[in-house]
């Protein structure tokens, strides 16, 4: 039965998409994981060599540090998964009416989170072990241990995940009923990710250019690493047993003790949560006490669009936080890249005079396209309220223009702030500023129009649950296509002004291609969709 429950949880994970979409997702995930592992291993091996020059002990401490980081990240990464698995009322109601023991459900939930934690730790820790072992000529048992490491440490990681689950759920509920705090929290989180990204990018660039490493490897950092390698239990104790073969019995006791305590605590919390908390489930309601007044139809539609975007928790991280953080994120990446480009790619400027401008433009457009693509499923966002679009006495095309205008305006405003940040920090030229703004604007509106068309086509054939897989692809294709055109034209020495003129013209052609049949397509599409989208 436990196995059946486990299979059910895993099946539910991918139940929303078709086989082809799951295959595409798997390929994309593999590429992203592959690139991440390559970067991680490169940084690790490069830093490992540097550490060796300072102190051989520290390179081992550095391995412990990275393993600890992986463990912490996998614990926090598993929290949303554990919450989803445990606090699902529908799931609980379905199981409560079946002859399934509560213990079996709890064990299956634990195993579900455990297997996901193991997967995450496995993906990121095994390459590190291999990198560490390969440079030191380790024997076969070491590599066997490295394969078992995620399974052993996974018990502890899962235990901590469930211990943290209750405060996490409380925080989640609190934020859910305080919308402004939700935006602030997501902003802080995205800022944190930006800073982390910036740190890793700088580290990578410093390794490539071999600069500023002495500042990093100061005595304080080395001492910290050394101390960490001895005290980061249960990782240190586990590595003591299998790598250092030092104090095996005491290390085994420490590892087993910590792991068992975490598992027991996790099961106690799981039991209590499943029995008590879910039985007394109450939802905090959000109330809107404000001045209610009747608006003009146009204003009512604008307000509705803002509500659909800004009150949708799905958009919180995928759109709202990114829109807010885009200026910081884009400035960080472009300034880091520019510092690398100016030093190392100077000779290429002979062949590609517009290389740096082109790269900056591509990155700016890539950011805005990816962010703008998050709001492409415009009709689907209407949810069950779609019937209102069809029955209210306002033309479909007018409603759709408002529908496109609101997310486009928000995205373009964020783009403008980004460009102002970049130009005030001398990271881009005035040409890139204006061309970026014009093309970014055209891209944003075009993406939203094509999203609308795509959404209508899908909804005509299927139902609300069908997802458009093309949206993210288009948002990547547009900037990259333009980048290729840009580099080809600069290589064949077309004057700069002509390059930008051609690029703007091409974007305008795409825009006109989308906008000319707008009214006709909208009316036909709306009538084909029908009344209810449940």
Q: Does residue number 311 form part of the binding site for another protein (CB under 8 A)?
A: yes
Judge residue 534's burial from the number of C-beta atoms within 10 Å of its C-beta, 0-12 exposed, 13-18 middle, 19 or more buried: exposed
CB of 514 to another protein, least distance (A): 24
Q: What angle do CA 255, 72, 170 make, to 5 degrees?
A: 110
Of 439, 327, 319, which Cα lies nearest the Cα of 377? Answer: 319
Q: Among residue numbers 367 through 396, which ones bind another protein (CB under 8 A)?
A: 382-388, 390-395
As a whole number of angstroms, the distance between CA 347 and CA 352 comes to: 9
If the CB atoms of residues 307 and 484 are measured against another protein, the closer one turns out to be 307
Is the CB of residue 469 less than 8 Å from the CB of residue 24?
yes
Length of the chain: 534
Q: Does residue number 98 form part of the binding site for another protein (CB under 8 A)?
A: no
If the CB atoms of residues 69 and 298 are measured against another protein, the closer one turns out to be 298
Q: Does residue number 405 form part of the binding site for another protein (CB under 8 A)?
A: no
231: number of Cβ within 10 Å: 11
As a whole number of angstroms, the distance between CA 245 and CA 240 comes to: 5
CB of 447 to another protein, least distance (A): 23
If the CB atoms of residues 1 and 93 are measured against another protein, the closer one turns out to be 93
Question: Which residues 6+ apart lie within 8 Å of 96 measured at CB?
Answer: none
Of 192, 196, 111, 217, which Cα lies nearest the Cα of 158? Answer: 111
Q: Does residue number 285 form part of the binding site for another protein (CB under 8 A)?
A: yes
Name the residue with tokens 């401490």: 61
Q: Site for another protein (CB under 8 A): which residue of 1, 7, 307, 476?
A: 307
Q: Does residue number 314 form part of the binding site for another protein (CB under 8 A)?
A: no
361: number of Cβ within 10 Å: 26
If the CB atoms of residues 136 and 398 are measured against another protein, the closer one turns out to be 398
As a whole number of angstroms, the distance between CA 235 and CA 120 comes to: 16
Q: Site for another protein (CB under 8 A): which residue of 99, 137, 220, 531?
A: 531
Q: Does residue number 528 form part of the binding site for another protein (CB under 8 A)?
A: yes
Q: Site for another protein (CB under 8 A): which residue of 98, 283, 461, 493?
A: 283
If the CB atoms of residues 276 and 294 are measured against another protein, the closer one turns out to be 294
Q: Site for another protein (CB under 8 A): which residue of 139, 180, 276, 294?
A: 294
CB of 384 to another protein, least distance (A): 5
CB of 390 to another protein, least distance (A): 5
If the CB atoms of residues 312 and 469 are measured against another protein, the closer one turns out to be 312
Is the CB of residue 161 less than 8 Å from the CB of residue 82?
yes
Q: Site for another protein (CB under 8 A): which residue of 13, 16, 103, 295?
A: 295
Backbone angles phi, psi at 427, to 5 degrees: -90, -25
By the criterion CB under 8 A, which residues form the site for another protein? 283, 285-289, 292-297, 299-301, 303-304, 307-308, 311-312, 382-388, 390-395, 527-528, 530-532, 534
């Amino acid at each position: 039965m436990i196995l059946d429950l486990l299979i059910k949880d895993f099946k539910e994970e991918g139940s929303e998409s078709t086989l082809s979409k799951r295959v595409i997702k798997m390929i994309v995930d593999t590429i992203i994981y592959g690139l991440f592992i390559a970067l991680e291993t490169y940084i690790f091996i490069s830093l490992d060599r540097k550490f060796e020059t300072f102190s051989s002990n520290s390179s081992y401490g550095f391995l412990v540090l990275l393993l600890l980081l992986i463990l912490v990240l996998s614990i926090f990464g598993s929290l949303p998964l554990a919450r989803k698995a445990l606090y699902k009322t529908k799931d609980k109601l379905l199981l409560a009416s079946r002859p399934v023991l509560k213990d079996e459900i709890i064990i299956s939930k634990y195993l579900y989170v455990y297997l996901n934690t193991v997967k995450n730790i496995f993906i990121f820790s095994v390459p590190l072990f291999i990198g560490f072992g390969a440079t030191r000529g380790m024997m076969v048992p070491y590599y066997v241990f490295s394969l078992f490491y995620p399974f052993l440490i996974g018990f502890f990681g899962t235990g901590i995940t469930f211990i943290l689950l209750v405060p996490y759920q409380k925080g989640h509920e609190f934020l859910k009923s305080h919308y402004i705090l939700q935006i602030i929290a997501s902003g802080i989180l995205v800022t944190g990710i930006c800073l982390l990204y910036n740190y890793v990018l700088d580290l990578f660039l410093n390794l490539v250019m071999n600069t500023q490493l002495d500042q990093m490897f100061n005595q304080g950092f080395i001492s910290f690493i050394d101390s960490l390698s001895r005290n980061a239990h249960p990782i240190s104790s586990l590595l003591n047993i299998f790598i250092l073969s030092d104090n095996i019995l005491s290390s085994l006791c420490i590892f087993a003790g910590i792991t068992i305590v975490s598992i027991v605590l996790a099961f106690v919390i799981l039991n209590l949560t499943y029995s008590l908390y879910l039985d007394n489930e109450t939802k905090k309601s959000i109330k809107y006490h404000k001045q209610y007044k009747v608006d003009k139809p146009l204003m009512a539609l604008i307000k509705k669009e803002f509500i659909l975007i800004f009150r949708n928790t799905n958009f919180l991280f995928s759109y709202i936080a990114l829109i807010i953080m885009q200026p910081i994120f884009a400035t960080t990446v472009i300034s880091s890249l520019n510092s690398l480009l100016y030093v190392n790619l100077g000779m290429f400027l002979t062949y590609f005079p517009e290389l740096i401008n082109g790269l900056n433009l591509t990155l700016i457009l890539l950011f805005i396209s990816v962010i703008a693509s998050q709001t492409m499923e415009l009709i689907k966002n209407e949810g069950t309220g779609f019937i209102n679009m069809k029955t209210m006495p306002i033309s479909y095309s007018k409603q759709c223009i408002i529908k496109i205008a609101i997310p486009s305006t928000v995205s373009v405003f964020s783009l403008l702030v980004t460009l102002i940040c970049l130009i005030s920090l001398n990271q881009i030229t005035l040409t890139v500023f204006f061309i970026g703004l014009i093309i970014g604007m055209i891209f944003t509106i075009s993406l939203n129009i094509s999203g609308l068309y795509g959404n209508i086509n899908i909804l005509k054939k299927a139902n609300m649950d069908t997802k458009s897989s093309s949206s993210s692809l288009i948002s990547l294709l547009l900037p990259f296509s333009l980048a290729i055109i840009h580099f080809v034209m600069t290589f064949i020495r077309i004057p700069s002004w002509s390059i930008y003129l051609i690029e703007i013209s091409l974007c305008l052609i795409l825009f006109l291609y989308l906008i000319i049949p707008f009214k006709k397509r909208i009316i036909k599409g709306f009538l084909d969709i029908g009344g209810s989208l449940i």
